């Protein structure tokens, strides 16, 4: 498994759509590790000779029955005071006796002849029946000798070398081949039994990184036995869906079949928080009598940052990879590219986007400077790109999300400029939303610019706009939780600074006692916890974290506790650079600054800053959502995201408006 205490997490980048064995290996290792954290051995003995006999018995038969027979023989021929079985005494019984012994497995006579001949050949070569000499041979010599033994295939030879000699060689296996073919590591036809030998040759040509050979082999076998079965794979349980070529093919086919459903374009999509809320039924407060929660189809998403783009693609396997663009929307021709890509969409109703305008945020000095800048019409490149695409597509609705400081730009006239930009085609207004009002355990105040296409009936558009913004501007009628910091994270494992796991398991045995309704919704049966590693903290930070009580900020270290030595920021300006969160209250706004440090998000009950998974819980991301990339990029993706629950509320409001005012 991935070492949980590595301070710097730097995975290699693999473009979306390519098999990513780094993530696949780590996910499988976390999923199938033993309770003590070790990888499974699948019942294979540790001695090479024992393992060879064991593998020859399990070949072409019932594995459980073969395991029981092997254990019986091993005990029978291990005398008192002996550490290993006397396989010489066993083989000296002769072929007929061995055939009777092996009869319950089937092919008794064939197995007897092969094992009898193999053990005698080993004795002839080494003077006694042992394979210990192989420990000093190189891989080529080992493989050649083992494969020369009667009844020993290339796969069996490779298994002995992997399991007992510690060699970095990947054996072919029916389960491994099937899963690797579905993942796209092997060609699809190589998952079939008749392609076993061809698959073995491919797997030994360096396709599997040597350092992953053992972990990937044993976990693929378990995965193929338990989840990715030959007849009815349990894809709903599989945490590899986002990396699986076969699942993507089937999900894309369903995506094509659903073309008549209302669909959405997500611009500046980031990691995809909005798209999760729009496309998945994760909202609550809807009519419990309804059989399904109406969702929308993602027609296209666009994001420039490569790691955010990879995160989006990984977590939206139902969207074709050619509809998840890594694109600079401010570049020449971007608008035309978007328009051409979705020209055939029959029911595109919404464009959503959060064009990044950090320079207008009021969090920090940059926003304050923007607020006092000389009057200039509001039209930064990202906003202008969003505006131009919306006006080119002319969807029924559009929603633009941004920070409250947006309206301080352009000498305080940004709102006026934005509404004027869209007013020729859309009935448009703004609505202020607080994420906590929509069930998110976080205080996150945002502005939504909302438009409804005027078309031939401007009055209907105005009425629809009033209805839509009314739905977005009010809090949930009811929510099954109080949406606090504790509600969000109390079930996650406690970790120390630098501790935790990028790929770990939830507590074995189901939901922990006292799990909140919020946690149960976000876990949704997930077995794994992703991205739950705490960043390292120095001694000064730890001392300051201990000093501050929940709700206190860095300035209190000086004012209340007379510890100015613990502060590294000016006490007269940066009053909130340190903040300890409150367990029984919503968190403060999760921000992208978490990529630089976690001082504003000190855990209220543990002496450390929060993990990416805790930040994701505060943002309402489900637990099966994997943030890819270095940890700084993960924090940035979480902080920049629209909470999926807010995306769900936007989707519900749009669909309700569509049904009420535009039923045709």
Domain boundary among 476, 502, 519: 476
Check whether residue 191 and residue 162 sit in a common domain: no
Give the pLDDT confidence score for residue 287 in this predicted structure. 41
Check whether residue 580 and residue 596 sit in a common domain: yes
Give the pLDDT confidence score for residue 199 in this predicted structure. 86
Hey, which residues does 397 pair with through a beta bridge?
Answer: 350, 452
Check whether residue 416 and residue 517 sit in a common domain: no
Check whether residue 415 and residue 356 sit in a common domain: yes
Domain boundary among 433, 449, 476: 476
Check whether residue 465 and residue 497 sit in a common domain: no
What CATH number is attached to the domain comprising 497?
3.90.120.10
Q: Are 319 and 342 in contact (CB under 8 A)?
A: no
Q: Are 387 and 422 in contact (CB under 8 A)?
A: yes
Where in the sequence numbering do the catalytic residues fall? 357
Report the SS3 class of residue 194: helix
Check whether residue 388 and residue 296 sit in a common domain: yes
Answer whether residue 89 is part of any domain. Answer: yes
HSE-up of residue 481 (Cα within 13 Å, Cβ side): 27
Check whether residue 520 and residue 614 sit in a common domain: yes
What lies within 8 Å, CB to CB, of 607 at 6+ separation is: 497, 542, 545, 546
| Average pLDDT per consecutive 10 residues, the chain (664 residues; last block may be shorter) | 51 88 96 91 92 91 87 89 88 93 91 95 95 95 96 93 94 93 93 82 86 96 95 92 95 94 97 95 51 85 97 96 96 96 95 81 46 68 97 97 90 93 97 92 96 95 96 72 90 94 77 74 88 93 94 88 77 72 96 93 97 98 95 96 95 95 90
Domain boundary among 207, 238, 269: 238
Check whether residue 232 and residue 142 sit in a common domain: no
Answer whether residue 444 is part of any domain. Answer: yes
What lies within 8 Å, CB to CB, of 142 at 6+ separation is: 134, 157, 161, 165, 167
Check whether residue 539 and residue 631 sit in a common domain: yes
Domain count, the chain: 4
Answer whether residue 249 is part of any domain. Answer: no
Check whether residue 186 and residue 162 sit in a common domain: no
Q: How far apart (Å, rounded) are the C-alpha atoms in residues 245 and 19?
A: 8
Answer whether residue 24 is part of any domain. Answer: no
Report the SS3 class of residue 10: coil
Check whether residue 228 and residue 283 sit in a common domain: no
What's CA 71's distance to the chain center, in Å? 40
Q: Which domain holds residue 471?
A: 255-476
Answer whether residue 86 is part of any domain. Answer: yes
Hey, which residues does 402 pair with through a beta bridge?
Answer: 447
Answer whether residue 325 is part of any domain. Answer: yes
Check whether residue 465 and residue 590 sit in a common domain: no
Q: Are 16 and 313 in contact (CB under 8 A)?
A: yes
Give the pLDDT confidence score for residue 171 in this predicted structure. 92
> 3-state secondary structure string, 269-338?
CCCCHHHHHHHCCCCCCCCCCCCCCCCCEEEEEEECCHHHHHHHHHHCCCCCHHHEEECCCCCCCHHHHH
> 3-state secondary structure string, 205-237?
HHHCCHHHHHHHHHHHHHHHHHCCCCCCCCHHH
What CATH number is attached to the domain comprising 155?
1.10.340.30
């Amino acid at each position: 498994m991935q070492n949980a205490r590595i301070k710097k997490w730097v995975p290699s980048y693999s473009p979306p759509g390519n098999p990513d064995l780094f993530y696949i290996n780590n996910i499988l290792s976390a999923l199938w590790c033993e309770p003590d954290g070790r990888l499974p051995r699948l019942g294979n003995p540790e001695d090479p000779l024992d393992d060879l006999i064991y593998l020859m018995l399990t070949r072409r038969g019932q594995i459980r029955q073969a395991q029981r027979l092997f254990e019986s023989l091993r005990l029978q021929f291990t005398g008192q005071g002996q550490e290993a079985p006397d396989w010489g005494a066993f083989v000296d019984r002769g072929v007929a006796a061995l055939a009777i012994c092996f009869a319950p497995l089937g092919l008794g006579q064939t197995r007897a002849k092969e094992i009898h001949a193999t053990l005698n050949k080993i004795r002839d070569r080494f003077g006694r029946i042992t394979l210990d000499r192989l420990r000093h041979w190189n891989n080529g010599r080992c493989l050649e000798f083992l494969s020369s033994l009667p009844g020993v295939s290339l796969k069996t030879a490779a298994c002995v070398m992997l399991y007992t000699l510690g060699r970095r060689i990947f054996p072919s296996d029916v389960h491994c081949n099937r899963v690797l073919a579905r993942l796209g590591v092997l060609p699809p036809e190589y998952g079939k039994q008749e392609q076993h030998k061809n698959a073995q040759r491919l797997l030994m040509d360096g396709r599997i990184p040597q350092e992953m050979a053992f972990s990937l082999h044993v976990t693929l076998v378990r995965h193929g036995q338990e989840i990715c079965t030959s007849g009815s794979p349990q894809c709903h349980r599989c945490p590899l869906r986002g990396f699986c070529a076969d699942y993507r093919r089937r999900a894309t086919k369903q995506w094509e079949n659903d073309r008549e459903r209302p669909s959405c374009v997500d611009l500046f999509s980031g990691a995809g928080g909005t798209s999760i809320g729009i496309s998945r039924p994760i909202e609550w407060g809807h009519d419990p009598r309804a059989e399904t929660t109406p969702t929308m189809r993602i027609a296209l998403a666009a994001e420039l940052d490569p790691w955010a783009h990879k995160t989006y693609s990984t977590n939206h396997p139902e969207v074709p990879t050619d509809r998840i663009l890594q694109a600079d929307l401010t570049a020449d021709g971007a608008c035309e590219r978007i328009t051409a890509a979705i020209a055939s969409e029959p029911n595109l109703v919404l464009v959503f986007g959060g064009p990044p305008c950090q320079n207008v945020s009021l969090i920090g000095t940059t926003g304050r400077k923007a607020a006092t800048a000389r009057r200039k019409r509001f039209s930064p490149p990202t906003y202008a790109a969003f505006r131009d695409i919306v006006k080119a597509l002319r969807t029924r609705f559009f929603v633009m999300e941004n920070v409250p400081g947006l309206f301080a730009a352009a000498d305080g006239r940004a709102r006026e400029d934005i509404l004027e930009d869209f007013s020729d085609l859309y009935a448009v207004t703004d609505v202020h939303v607080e994420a906590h009002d929509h069930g998110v355990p976080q205080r996150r105040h945002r502005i939504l610019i909302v438009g409804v296409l005027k078309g031939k009936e401007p009055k209907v558009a105005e009425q629809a706009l009033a209805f839509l913004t009314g739905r977005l501007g009010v809090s949930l009628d009811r929510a099954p939780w109080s949406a606090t910091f504790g509600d969000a994270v109390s079930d996650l494992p406690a970790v120390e600074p630098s501790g935790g796991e990028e790929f770990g398991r939830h507590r074995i045995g189901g939901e922990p006692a006292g799990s909140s309704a919020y946690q149960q919704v976000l876990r949704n049966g997930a077995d794994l916890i992703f991205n739950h590693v705490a960043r390292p903290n120095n001694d000064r930070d730890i001392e300051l974290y201990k000093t501050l009580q929940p709700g206190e900020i860095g300035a209190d270290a000086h004012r209340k506790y007379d510890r100015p030595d613990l502060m590294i920021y000016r006490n007269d300006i940066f009053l909130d650079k340190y903040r300890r969160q409150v367990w029984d209250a919503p968190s403060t706004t999760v921000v992208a600054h978490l990529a630089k440090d976690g001082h504003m998000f000190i855990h209220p009950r543990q002496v450390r800053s929060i993990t990416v998974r805790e930040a994701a819980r505060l943002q309402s991301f489900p637990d099966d959502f994997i943030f890819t990339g270095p940890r700084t990029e993960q924090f940035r993706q979480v902080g920049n995201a629209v909470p999926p629950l807010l995306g769900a509320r936007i989707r519900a409001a749009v669909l309700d408006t569509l049904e009420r005012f535009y039923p045709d």
